Amino acid sequence: MMNSKLNWINPVMEKEFRLRMRTIRSPIAILVYLIAIGLFALGFAYINMSNQQAGVLSAARSSELFYFLSGAQLVLIAFMTPGLTAGVVSGEREKQTLNMLLTTQQSSGTIILSKLFASLSFMLLTVVATMPLYSIVFLYGGVSPKQVLSVFVFYVFVMLLFGSVGIFFSTILKKTVISVIATYGFVLLVFGFTALAGLFFGNLGRQGMNEEILGYFLSFNPMAVLASLMVPDFAKELFKGHKLLQMWHIFVGSYTVLLIILIWLSVRYLRPIMKRKK
């Protein structure tokens, strides 16, 4: 029991928690994040309420607010997560403290996972802090608790995905700036290239848009998968021949494999690899 406790609460994770949670920057960052999300939600609600004769949000407008709020939060997660994880290893290397960390009794896997979970815990705390804003949606109806829960679970998976990408580039690249740029490049690729490629390959045929091909490409796009979670009919329109197939099935299955590979490579290349003498 004691050994399992020590494996979860190790010195690396404890140090990361102390550095991230005990500085003035952490509450300020959460405050700025909440202000941004709150302004989005209140601005959207104000514009739509002013257009209504009774001055209240209808159930349809409330669901639109939920879609808008969820999409905005996904964009902020994609923007903030690489900045939290893309420099955790390369920063140690630049400060010349990585060699000291590697001489401790902590294994490479413990170091990588501890830094990943400590970085994502701050992002998770930030997302959980926005949950009271969703009370506006529940106040006017139009959204079920199951939808909200599925969206928050999806957020956690996206954090793990982008966090593992940031850890990977931070491990194999020596400079933090280059690591951050490479991580944001991956995020841009996932959000932009998948949609453009789906439209391109879906229009190759002479009979118009092939919606099934578009659906497969959009299944790798976080924003499209989020839309399918909020509006299940969106996936049914794309996969008419596969009624049981959902976009999140492809997204979670494929990116889980990528996530595991990236973490394994990060653990593999954290320590210098000694070349064998012939």
Angle between helices 222-230 and 247-270 (to 10 degrees): 140
**Cα angle: 79, vertex 82, 83; to 5 degrees:** 85
Which is it for the CA torsion 138, 144, 149, 152, positive or negative?
negative
**What pLDDT, on the 0 to 100 scale, is given for residue 4?**
43
d(CA 96, CA 254): 36
Answer yes or no: are the C-beta atoms of 259 and 235 closer than 8 Å.
no
* CB distance 226 to 150 below 8 Å: no
Which of the residue ranges 41-55, 76-90, 129-143, 162-176 would you say has the lowest mean pLDDT? 41-55
Q: Check residue 93 and give its pLDDT.
A: 84
| End-to-end CA gap in the chain | 45
**pLDDT tens readout for residues 3-17:** 444 445 677 777 777
- Tell me the pLDDT tens digit for each residue of 229-247: 888 777 777 777 666 778 8
Residue 169's pLDDT is 93
Is the model more confident about 150 or about 16?
Answer: 150
Give residue 272's pLDDT: 66
Domain parsing of the chain, residue ranges:
2-270
Query: Mean pLDDT throughout 87-109?
Result: 82
pLDDT number for residue 187: 93
